[in-house]
Amino acid sequence: MGPIGPGAARVRNAEGTHVGHAEPAAAVGHRLRATDAAWDMQVKKVGRNGLVSSAIGLGGLALTGAYGRVEPAESFRTVGHALDLGVTLIDLAVPGAGGARGTVERLVGKAVSGRRDEVLITSCGGPARPERSVEASLRRLRTDRIDVYSLHLGGTARVEETVGRMARLVADGKVGSLGLCGPTAGQLRRAHAVHPIALVASEYSLWDRRVEERLLPAARELGVGFSACRPLGRGFLTGRVVSPEQFEPGDHRLADPRFEAGNLAVNRKLLPAAEYVAAQLNLGLGRLALAWLLSRGDDVVAVPSTRSRIHLEMNAAAAGVRLTPELGASLAAAFPAQAVAGGGRRRPP
Ligand SMILES: NC(=O)c1ccc[n+]([C@@H]2O[C@H](COP(=O)([O-])OP(=O)(O)OC[C@H]3O[C@@H](n4cnc5c(N)ncnc54)[C@H](OP(=O)(O)O)[C@@H]3O)[C@@H](O)[C@H]2O)c1
């Protein structure tokens, strides 16, 4: 973060006290490039295992239909447009194996064909038969390597054995690096002792900061990069989710306690303080939520998912906003994650 420049926006809290600055990217030495985007994608060296990724990636979950009907042609264009915007991470570590995930893997394989080297692709599987699951993903993606293969260890006690099997896939060149999905800090340490883990993926956003207690510190200590899943709180942090009645049947959020009508009403009361900060910075709430995540450290990238090019552009533009540490801290204080109703219970994928 460079010094506060003349372009910095002053930010005050609701009482009018000055709490920090936010810098437009141009004021901190970012090059503007001659594309349709008025900002430049930040590139981060994520962790100490050689992974380099755009600060904002593209998550694949919305493309599976998890959050409403998908229009395949728009999904296809969204993936291609992500590459145009400088997105170099596509996270397909989503539930659904050969079904929903398989469909998105096929779509992404087609959309990035001819541009495969521009992007890192992550996929995932469980501890049972990871070799078969990698082969199936390779076929669907029409590629000869998965850049990061993330294991869902779940409650398995066979961490070392599973990671050892995955290490052989790395040695064979079918997998570039290993990742873990939603591990405990203990599982991360055990896995990393067997083979370097390049990336750990877990839910992390303004409204769910539980990873800050143990997992993120462990990842930092080990030099493992962090992929913030559900960075927009499954859409909640855009301010657009008003009632569960707006969800289509089958929407995954219908099974998430945070979106039950009573809890959602409580949770929406937490939004205005963050909206106030966003308004002062002339940003949408979603962009502020993503910029906040990026301000958590050089090792954190965010993978919001979307079905639309418009939302993709809004999200990617968060890479052009740099929040100062003071502003990041005051935003965290203004949005008390521990007050989120339904947030403490275990959530479905
Ligand atoms: N490995 C794991 O265990 C795991 C688990 C969960 C998630 N993840 C990763 O995290 C990624 C993201 O998680 P997620 O999809 O659950 O949650 P999310 O990215 O926080 O939210 C996605 C939701 O936000 C909406 N949205 C996106 N951009 C928007 C914008 N600019 N304005 C308004 N609405 C917007 C999307 O709808 P539209 O389609 O209408 O834009 C969608 O409903 C997943 O794709 C996956 O890669 C991994």
Contact 21, 10 (CB under 8 A): yes
- The residue to mutate among 74, 122, 187, 232, having the most atoms of ligand 1 within 8 angstroms of its beta carbon, is 232
Asked if pLDDT for residue 204 goes beyond 80, the answer is yes
pLDDT tens-place string over residues 137-167 = 999 999 999 999 999 988 877 899 999 999 9
Asked if pLDDT for residue 345 goes beyond 70, the answer is no
Q: Given CA atoms 80, 82, 251, 284 in this order, what sign does their dihedral have?
A: negative
Cα 259 to averaged position of ligand 1 atoms, centre (Å): 15
pLDDT tens-place string over residues 76-88 = 999 999 999 999 9
Beta strands in the chain (DSSP E): 9-12, 18-24, 43-46, 51-54, 58-59, 89-91, 120-125, 146-152, 175-181, 197-203, 225-229, 300-302, 321-323
At which residue do the structure tokens 């993503």 appear?
290
Cα 232 to averaged position of ligand 1 atoms, centre (Å): 6
Q: How many CB atoms lie within 10 A of CB 260?
A: 17
Residue with the smallest CA separation from ligand 1 atom 3 is 181
CA dist., res. 165 & res. 186, Å (int): 19
Q: Which residues line ligand 1 (CB under 6 A)?
A: 59-62, 67, 91, 93-94, 124, 181-182, 201, 229-235, 238, 240, 286, 303-308, 311, 314-315, 349
Report all structural domains of the chain as residue ranges with CATH numbers, in order of start.
Answer: 41-233+293-321 (3.20.20.100)
* Structure token digits, residue 188: 């991360």
pLDDT score for 227: 98
The percent of residues in the chain predicted with pLDDT above 70, rounded, is 87
For the chain, state the CA radius of gyration: 19
CA dist., res. 332 & res. 181, Å (int): 24
pLDDT score for 37: 54
Rounded to the nearest 10 degrees, the angle between the axes of helix 215-222 and helix 185-194 is: 20
End-to-end Cα separation, the chain, in angstroms: 35
pLDDT tens-place string over residues 288-309 = 999 999 999 999 999 999 999 9
pLDDT tens-place string over residues 56-100 = 999 999 999 999 999 999 999 999 999 999 999 999 988 776 688
Question: 294 CB contacts (<8 Å, ≥6 apart)?
Answer: 42, 55, 56, 300, 301, 302, 318, 319, 321, 322, 323
Put residue 256 in one of left, alpha, beta given phi > 0 → left and psi -120 to 50 → alpha. beta
When the pLDDT of each residue in the chain is averaged and rounded to a whole number, the result is: 88
Residue with the smallest CA separation from ligand 1 atom 10 is 229
* Structure token digits, residue 23: 């810098």
Identify the helix (H) or strand (E) that includes residue 92: none
Cα 17 to averaged position of ligand 1 atoms, centre (Å): 33
Residue with the smallest CA separation from ligand 1 atom 28 is 311
pLDDT score for 98: 62
pLDDT score for 34: 32
pTM, entire model? 0.90
| Chain mean position to CA 81 | 18
Q: What is the mean predicted confidence (pLDDT) over 12-35? A: 40
Of 268, 271, 302, 264, nearest to 285 (Cα)?
271
Asked if pLDDT for residue 347 goes beyond 80, the answer is no
Question: 155 CB contacts (<8 Å, ≥6 apart)?
Answer: none
pLDDT tens-place string over residues 168-188 = 999 999 999 999 999 999 999
* Residue 140 or 344, more confident: 140
pLDDT score for 126: 80
